[in-house]
A and B are shown apart, each in its own frame.
Chain A
Amino acid sequence: MALGYYSDLVSKGEVTRVAVGVDIGSLTAKTVVMDSNSHIASYKVIQGKIVDEAAAIASLNQALNDAHLTNEEIGFLVTTGYGRNMVSFGDKSITEISCHARGAQFLFPGVRTVIDIGGQDSKVISLNGQGSVVNFAMNDKCAAGTGRFLEVMAHALEVPIEEMGALSLKAKNPATISSICTVFAESEVISLTAQGRLKLDIIAGIHEAIGRRMHSLVNHVGMIPPVVMSGGVAKNTGVVRALEKLLGTEIILPPEPQIVGALGAALFAMDELKAKSMR
């Protein structure tokens, strides 16, 4: 597959097609297939130790398969995520900032703030109420407080990452963990374990550390409710609760937070598809 492949087919008038968004993150590849009625036809999240072009293609193929479609039925494909320019397929690349905003606005019209915590980056996006991005802030120096941070902590505590959220809600005396550096925070966790602190309390402390870090990022752009959270970390109830407490507002969660970026990309692909069909 080469750049412009799908859009070339459409411009040749060969087919009417679906719009596809592929979000190539650092830990997962996500695909959303959208039909001509702007309905999600299928989606797929692929988890991998290293997300490369093969993982991105796998998520694309599986999503197409689930929707009983083939490559030839793609009308326009937008890539997003940190690997958006890495892959050799796709018609256009758009940043995850625009895509998360667009996806969140589609799911929750009128959203004003989107908090996205992915595998290695976190961002806060401010929208104007009509879906346009007016400001954003992104972690630019280090990946503390992201999905990878949680993975490292889960590994240090020998707790499955999926169970961390529920466990932390039972904590009575949360520990204090540094929010500055993943490596130092891991040492703190090991040292707290050695001191005999309960895993529940340590996990709650980790979630609060992420919350504090995000709180500071939210302050960069200013928070206006309604607030939507996207990205894999939104699946961790403990982080969501910690953030809600710090921000003093309810956080709205999409049914599948991991695909919001890919959904936004699919919506941008749909715009292109519609514009092409009108030409």
Chain B
Amino acid sequence: MPKSNIKEVMNKFREVVDKPYEKLRQWKKANEKKMAGCSPMHFPEELIHAAGMLPVVLQETDETITTGFSYIYPFFCGITRNLIDVGVKGQLSFLDGLVYADICVQNRTAASILRQNLPSVYVDVAQLPSSFTRKGVMEDTIKELDRIKANLEKLAGRNIDDTSLKQSIAAYNKNRSLLRRLHNLCQKNPRLLPYRDMQVIVQSSMLMPKEEHTQLLEKLLAEMEGMKPASVKGSRLFLSGHLCQSPKADILDLIEGVGGIIVDDDLYTGYRYYAIDVEMNGSPIEALAKRHLEKSLPVPTRTGLPMRWEKYLVDRVKASKAQGIVVLMVKFCEPHLFYYPFIKEALTKASIPHIMVETEHEVVSLEGVRTRLQAFMEMLK
């Protein structure tokens, strides 16, 4: 495949990411298929897929917040304010359903505001347990997944049997494994793709029909795996944070522009999304519950995880041979802010240089960020 085909595939991914809701509306009209949105992070998209609907993970768009201002506090995070804003403006009314998984207080508030303002959309909140050490947590998770499953069946007008759910899980596992292959390839040959493109690839996986995305990804990988490693000069960096939204491309460009070579990440629109597969043996609902409880990557919205986030991060940074870590903090992300002091302490203790960059929905002063990032690179040399 000539290089121009990489461009062609990337353009297809970019089309949907640049204007997600417009593209999804067009897709729905053309395919006459039901579509259900879900909040980022914890909700298993496989359930929506198995009901024969198109699952889409809601994304933050660049739109200026206007009408939404009257519905939400200004000290809520960007994606929450943005989703409420586009919701109350009617831009999400093409959805048939919208399922939130309980992530944080802000997210729950968004669900109730959207429920009131999107009367034609079925809106539900999946109360998936956040404390993993409680007795009976597995039973509760299965019970809640079964409840949501029954509601999705009603919405879709068809049953979700074990066979179809397993097929959906297999389709998702396949896509995840390809994304991991791409991740590993870019770890071995950093800068094969600008990191902004990596985000586009993952975000488009959250928005496009999985099978279509998988096909395009296979095409892309076939080409990329034959490419010569890019010549890179700079400092190896690990990127952490942004738990439920993609970092702005400008910030990623800045990091690379000042000589940062991003070798690994734990971003939601990165490794976190495709790191873990769902088991194919036994009951598929149990397998989804297991993925939520036992295979969850450390995250500040869950407690009682097998490993604390800061330890996990230190281990991952060391394994990736990164010289430093850039923590991307979404302004007003309470769970991340709560956890940050532990991370800072652990990184300092492990002598891992780090810098925290706060990002927000509205424009950040990029010149100041550039100076701080460039100074961080100079410090690493």
Contact = CB atoms under 8 A, between A and B. Distances in A.
A136 interface: yes
Contacts of B28: none
A134 interface: yes
Contact of A95 (B353, B358, B365, B371): B371
Interface in A84-101: 94-98
A97 B358 CA distance: 19
B43 to A, nearest CB: 34
Interface stretch (B80-88, B129-137, B305-313, B373-381): B373-381
B235 to A, nearest CB: 14
Nearest to B360: A141
Interface of B: 353, 358, 365, 367-369, 371-372, 374-375, 378-379
Contact of B371 (A133, A134, A138, A141): A138
Contact of A140 (B353, B372, B378, B379): B372
Interface string A125-169: 000000011101011110000000000000000000000000000
B378 A94 contact: yes
21 contacts: A82-B371, A95-B375, A95-B378, A96-B371, A97-B378, A98-B375, A121-B368, A132-B379, A133-B375, A133-B379, A134-B353, A136-B372, A136-B375, A136-B379, A138-B368, A138-B371, A138-B375, A139-B368, A140-B365, A140-B369, A141-B365
Contacts of B358: 140
B367 to A, nearest CB: 7
Given A96-B371, A98-B378, 17 more contacts: A82-B367, A95-B375, A97-B371, A97-B378, A98-B375, A98-B379, A132-B379, A133-B375, A133-B378, A134-B353, A134-B379, A136-B372, A136-B375, A138-B368, A140-B368, A140-B372, A141-B365
Contacts of B353: 134
Interface residues of A, number: 15
B199 to A, nearest CB: 23
A169 to B, nearest CB: 33
Contacts of B375: 95-98, 133, 136, 138
Contacts of A94: 378
A226 to B, nearest CB: 20
Contacts of A141: 365
A95 B365 CA distance: 16
Contacts of B379: 98, 132-134, 136
A197 to B, nearest CB: 34
Interface string A168-212: 000000000000000000000000000000000000000000000
A82 B367 CA distance: 8
B374 A95 contact: yes
Contacts of A132: 379
A132 B371 CA distance: 17
A138 B372 CA distance: 7
A97 B372 CA distance: 8
Nearest to B380: A133
Nearest to A93: B374
Contacts of B372: 97, 136, 138, 140
A141 B331 CA distance: 12
A133 B375 CA distance: 9
B79 to A, nearest CB: 20
The 5 closest A-B pairs by CB, nearest first: A97-B375, A95-B375, A98-B378, A133-B379, A140-B368
A91 to B, nearest CB: 16
